[in-house]
Amino acid sequence: MYKDIAIELICGFLALFIMLKLLGKTQFAQITPFDFITTLVLGNIVGDAALEKGVELTEILYSVLIWGLLIYAVTKLSQTFTGFRGILEGKPSMIIYKGKILYKELKKNNLDLNQLQHLMRQQGYFSLYEAEYVILETNGEVSVAPKHEFGPPTKNDLNIPYSQTNLPIALIMDGKVVPGNLKEANVDEKWLKKQLAIKKIKKYSEVFYAEWQQERGLEITKF
């Protein structure tokens, strides 16, 4: 019995993982009410079927497949027909317009002032009156366009000369070299060992994390 449950859960988990990968990253990131419901049902299908006696593994996989195909079909329809997309995902709501809080839109979206303040603080704005426009997105987050006097200055505003932005690259993680990242950073292990020697580090195992960025050089955190 326990063996059968373990096998069904493992296979169900793999089936769910593959299905969600095929459906795309929006199932994890920009969660809408539709995404939440579909993902919840997929999990319940596997969980209930695995613990229910007499349910075959093929029945679980078949259920996941059918539900996944339904989600895929609905997603494709929403991408093709914008009206259908609005029904499934909802539409963004303007809750502050030209500095004015729209009371009716707040009530329509079941959002109170405390919640609005919390959402705006997450975006770095601590007063409702700092915003010129605020849009409540379909995933429950807000996008804020600040008033002119509260907007952050850009590099153009400050006349800062242009410089190329380079991504940081992790060269050592948990005491182990990341070979692919060495190549990406256009360095080799000989160079890396030389840099570690300057810091009086003899082995990779002494390094918890090492990151390279062209502007900052190599930064190291030891265990």
Mean pLDDT of 185-192: 89
* Greatest alpha-carbon span in the chain: 71
CA distance 104 to 110: 10
Neighbours of 119 (CB within 10 A): 20
Q: What mean pLDDT do residues 13-31 have? A: 56
Q: What is the distance between the alpha carbons of residues 221 and 187, in angstroms, rounded to a whole number?
A: 19
For tokens 């990341």, what's the residue? 178
pLDDT at 135 over 60: yes
Q: How confident is the model at residue 163 (pLDDT cuts 50, 70, 90)?
A: confident
Pick 193 or 67 by higher pLDDT: 193
Taking the C-alpha atoms of residue 95 and residue 111, their distance in angstroms, rounded to an integer, is 10
Q: Is the pLDDT of residue 147 over 90?
A: yes
Q: For residue 164, what pLDDT is reported?
A: 76
pLDDT score recorded for residue 57: 67
Q: Which of 85-89, 118-122, 177-181, 208-212 has the lowest mean pLDDT?
A: 85-89
Structure tokens at 219: 């930064």
Among 176, 217, 213, 220, which residue's Cα sits nearest to residue 196?
Answer: 220
* 199, 220 contact by CB (below 8 A): yes
Q: Return the SS3 of 76.
A: helix
Cα(16)–Cα(113) distance, rounded to whole angstroms?
38
Q: For 151, which DSSP code?
A: S
Q: What is the pLDDT of residues 61-111, one digit of tens each?
A: 777 777 777 777 777 776 777 666 666 666 788 999 999 999 999 888 888
pLDDT of the residue at 139: 75
Exposed/middle/buried for residue 194 (C-beta within 10 Å: 0-12, 13-18, 19+): exposed
Q: What percent of the chain has pLDDT over 90?
A: 21
How far is residue 54's CA from residue 152's CA, in Å, rounded to a whole number? Answer: 62
Q: Which domains does the chain have, with CATH numbers?
A: 2-87 (no CATH), 93-150 (3.30.240.20), 169-222 (3.30.240.20)
Residue 29 scores a pLDDT above 50: no
CB 215 within 8 A of CB 166: yes
Q: What value does the mean pLDDT of the chain take?
A: 79
Q: Is the pLDDT of residue 27 over 50?
A: no
Percent of the chain whose pLDDT exceeds 70: 69
Give the number of other CB atoms < 10 A from CB of residue 44: 10
Confidence (pLDDT) at 28: 44
CA atoms within 13 A on the CB side of 141: 10
pLDDT at 130: 92
